[in-house]
A and B are shown apart, each in its own frame.
Chain A
Amino acid sequence: QKEVEQDPGPLSVPEGAIVSLNCTYSNSAFQYFMWYRQYSRKGPELLMYTYSSGNKEDGRFTAQVDKSSKYISLFIRDSQPSDSATYLCAMRVGGGADGLTFGKGTHLIIQP
Chain B
Amino acid sequence: DAGVIQSPRHEVTEMGQEVTLRCKPISGHDYLFWYRQTMMRGLELLIYFNNNVPIDDSGMPEDRFSAKMPNASFSTLKIQPSEPRDSAVYFCASSLVGAPKTQYFGPGTRLLVL
Contact = CB atoms under 8 A, between A and B. Distances in A.
Asked if A and B bind, the verdict is yes
B86 to A, nearest CB: 19
Interface stretch (A14-22, A38-46, A61-69, A77-85): A38-46
A42 B104 CA distance: 12
Given A88-B43, A104-B42, A98 B55 contact: yes
B100 A98 contact: no
Q: Is chain B's interface secondary structure helix, strand, loop, or mixed overall?
A: strand
Contact of A105 (B4, B42, B56): B42
Contacts of A96: 55
A96 B56 CA distance: 10
Contacts of B50: 98
Interface residues of B, number: 27
B107 A43 contact: yes
Contacts of A88: 42-43
Nearest to A4: B42
Interface in A72-103: 88, 92, 94, 96-103
Contacts of A101: 45
B101 interface: yes
A98 B48 contact: yes
Contacts of A105: 42-43
A71 interface: no
Interface string A13-55: 0000000000000000000101010000111111001010000
Interface string B64-102: 000000000000000000000000000101010001111
Nearest to A97: B56
Given A102-B43, A105-B42, A46 B103 contact: yes
Closest 3 CB pairs of A and B: A43-B105, A104-B42, A99-B45
Interface of A: 32, 34, 36, 41-46, 49, 51, 88, 92, 94, 96-105
